[in-house]
Chain A
Amino acid sequence: MPASTLFYLLVGAVAMAIVAGIGIFWAIRSSQFDDLEGPAQRILMDDDDPMIPRYRLNEKRD
């Protein structure tokens, strides 16, 4: 394998690491790491019932 191929591959790897880094920085900034347990459980709850018309509450309680 010529060294130049390896060079491009390595540049690609570095570029991917930078993209991943930017992604993680964004996630940290938008406080996605603040609560590590809640979201994992939240996904299990079907809370789409109110979107189904016949289950929808008639009005907001006040």
Chain B
Amino acid sequence: MSETQDLHGCYHCGLPIPLGAQYPLEIEGMQREMCCRGCQAVAQAIVENGLTDYYKHRTALPAAGHELVPEELQQLALYDHASIQKSFVIEQGGQIRQASLILEGITCAACIWLNERHLRQLDGVLEVQVNYASHRARITWDDETIKLSRILKEIQLLGYNAHPYSAERQAALRKQQRARDLRRIAVAGLCAAQVMMIAVALYAGAAFGMEKNTAEMLRYFSLFLSLPVMFYAALPFYQSAWFALTARNVNMDVPVSLALVVAFTGSVWATFYGSGVVYFEAISMFTLFLLGSRFLERNAQEKSVEAAENLLKLAPAMATRVTGGQHEIVAVLELSAGDIILTKPGEAIAADGEVIEGESAVDEALLTGESCPVKKQAGCQVIAGSINIEGPMLLKVTGVGENTVLAGIVRLLDRAVAEKPRLAQLADRVASYFTYALLVLAALVGGVWWWLDASRAFEIVLAVLVVTCPCALSLAAPAAFAAAGAHLLKRGILLTRGHALETLSKVTHLVLDKTGTLTYGKPVLQEIAVLADVAEKDSLVLAASLELASEHPLAASFLNKVSRPELRGVRQAQNIPGKGVTGIIDGKFYSLGNRKLTSITENLPVPPSVQPGATLVWLCDERRPLAMFVLSDGLRPQAAELVANLKRRGIKVTILSGDSEEAVAHIAAQAGIDHWHSGMHPEDKLARLRTFQQQGDIVAMAGDGVNDAPVLAGADVSLAMGGGTQVARSSSDIVLLSESLPDIQCSLETGQASMMVMRQNFIWAIVYNLVALPFAAAGLIPPWLASLGMSASSLVVVLNALRLR
């Protein structure tokens, strides 16, 4: 291998090429090196289909390719079942079908091109449309010539991953709403441009003199052009205001609607009577600004929601039912109590049940937060959603759907959501006071002028209402939220609820879950102790080879440490459930497992340096132990840094974990966290959280598991890890797609920055109103200045918010 190849890395994915790896491929007449067989296969598929342009156009590197294993292909075949297709496929008459898919692995626009081009080349595929923004694909195909599993396989061949996505009603509604908003903005924009043009002529006329007829004609045109704005574009404001009023509430839209209606009525009156002031340009500009910033705000939020939905991956819930020795794959919904189901290692268990045959360890971290797998044998109860780790088991179903433990936790969650504090209501309350004050003031000014000079009263009341129109005030919050949301999204932080930013800026206490949040949630190789005359590297290679051959769940932690080409061939690989794996490499017998696997390791001492809670694995040949591996759940990088930074800011940090005392203490010490609680159930966590809140803390909670969900919902603001469980994500306000801990700090900072911008906006709006008000009340503000001030104050607010990006 030449040095240049090492410098450039894999031609496909850009990762460094392991020493000695030989995966060449000729692309457009050039010999290119790949890092692994997976990348080679993907590149091969791209070349064979005449899609090499992809390499020219791409602007970001894709993920490394991986080889398809037969089991994955078999799983794809399940997507052809009619009962499973029901949830995400639309039949379009005859054999024409359409499915919505989420594409995983899209990194740049060339990926879109690659997928669309390749799929369109397939016989039977009628239409492919990939949306770059949401990473979703809509594929129409003829079921007679091509099966969905085949299409999915082709996508995988290109190195991407496709998941069915059930186009929910909500998504359709969102799309409609978006189209409606866009139409309103278009109308407001077009009309505002025209009205503004006429207004400039009117300003000039006011300054230099204009024939009365011409001015009148211009006013009538302005009136005509404002009609669509008033009666179409601004409708949402009236609706929202009306809803608030009928609920005996006052929100921001009430003063907005009031100002619009009063200014319009006054302007119409002035137009028909040929005297007084018209505010048509102010009406249209204000409507445009407000619609625009609300649209941007909603857009940023929608993108977050879509990205969060893409995580759900609608895995069709399937189970293997055993009836009279026959295995059949059925939807989980079709299971009923008393059925016998088979669960294979690596699978999530489909229903609550009792083990009737087999022996295995089950990972219940999802529910209990316990990082160690729990032993299960005949007679034991297992919980739906937990993951079978070691061996196959036959289960007798005791509960499905609503009757499972999992469903119980979800119910607990619903209750917590209902109790969620609503700080957001405060802003509306402020707006209502403002509105009352405004109305009282306008009435007062009107009364005084009625007494002084009745002929000018109406005109001046109108000026007061227009000048003090809460445009800037009502734009202050949405503009800041829109900009901050867009900024966070770029970093992979999704805001799923509106109030999150506001609360984030006030957080005084961060509560963290341990497993999966502070740590990776899976065992990582921490330490290797060589016990005989073998090199550390060799022992690792032997262990990894054994693990790979046996498809043992711990395999990943070993395979991360060695490159694939180094692995040796293993014969007679055997997986002994609950103990470990054995096999023959180069004619020699090796075993890898816990102390119960062979008699050699049974009485070996555990070194005192090993931290509690770690998993110990020994590698032995026929006679003696060769090496010992220490595996434990590793702390995520930068955890200590995050904790130190937060402490400096005066934010308390606490761990609430369901794990054992030793394990939590160890991680807490590593991360520098002083307060921690171990062995907690979801109810305990929630109770503890409530105590914190009663002490006056504003609590942010970060978690990932199902057991965290009720706590996430109960916290003032909550953050979920992108790789965590669906329930955790859907019950939290913020999803960290990047899964990196510093993002917690980043979101706190953005929260504070956006509150600052919002406060500046509010101050500006209020100061502007306070300054302008006396002049308007005194009848000193000329009409063009009033409407210019109104537009300019809104513009300042929007521009200030854009600083957040």
Contact = CB atoms under 8 A, between A and B. Distances in A.
Interface of A: 3, 6-7, 10, 13-14, 17, 20-21, 24-25, 28-29, 31, 33-38, 41-42, 44-47, 49-50, 55, 57, 60-62
Contact of A62 (B108, B123, B194, B213): B123
A38 B123 contact: no
A14 B194 contact: yes
A41 B225 CA distance: 37
Contacts of A14: 194, 221, 224-225
Contact of B214 (A3, A17, A60): A3
A24 B185 CA distance: 10
A46 B110 CA distance: 11
Nearest to A23: B186
Contacts of A17: 190-191, 193-194, 225
Interface stretch (B130-138, B505-513, B692-700, B705-713): B130-138
Interface stretch (B13-21, B49-57, B67-75, B592-600): B49-57
Nearest to B145: A62
Nearest to A56: B50
A7 B121 contact: no
Contact of A55 (B49, B50, B110, B225): B50
A3 B217 CA distance: 8
Nearest to B132: A38
A39 to B, nearest CB: 8
A20 B190 contact: yes
A53 to B, nearest CB: 13
B799 interface: no
Contact of A37 (B132, B178, B187, B214): B132
Given A21-B190, A25-B186, A38 B131 contact: yes
B412 interface: no
Contacts of A61: 48-49, 121-122
Contacts of B49: 57, 61
A47 B194 contact: no
B437 interface: no
Contacts of A21: 186-187, 190
Contacts of B186: 21, 24-25, 28
Nearest to B54: A45
A62 B145 CA distance: 10
Contact of B179 (A7, A10, A29, A47): A29
Interface in B14-68: 48-50, 53, 57
Contacts of B211: 3
A-B pairs with lowest CB-CB distance, top 8: A38-B132, A41-B109, A24-B186, A35-B131, A17-B190, A45-B57, A37-B132, A28-B182
Contacts of B50: 49-50, 55, 57
Interface residues of B, number: 40
Given A28-B183, A33-B182, A35-B131, A47 B113 contact: yes
Interface string B640-683: 00000000000000000000000000000000000000000000
A2 B707 CA distance: 78
B112 A38 contact: yes
Contacts of B183: 24-25, 28
Interface string B196-215: 01100000000000010110
Chain A residues touching B, majority SS: helix
A38 B109 contact: yes
Interface string B392-406: 000000000000000
A50 to B, nearest CB: 7
A45 B110 contact: yes
Contacts of A7: 217
5 contacts: A10-B221, A34-B178, A35-B134, A38-B132, A57-B49
Contacts of A50: 50
A42 B134 CA distance: 16
Interface string B87-113: 000000000000000000000111011
Nearest to B222: A10
Interface string B558-575: 000000000000000000
B411 interface: no
Given A14-B221, A29-B179, A41-B109, 11 more contacts: A3-B211, A21-B190, A28-B179, A28-B186, A35-B133, A37-B133, A44-B57, A49-B53, A50-B50, A60-B121, A61-B49
B123 A60 contact: yes
B112 A62 contact: no
Contacts of B221: 10, 14
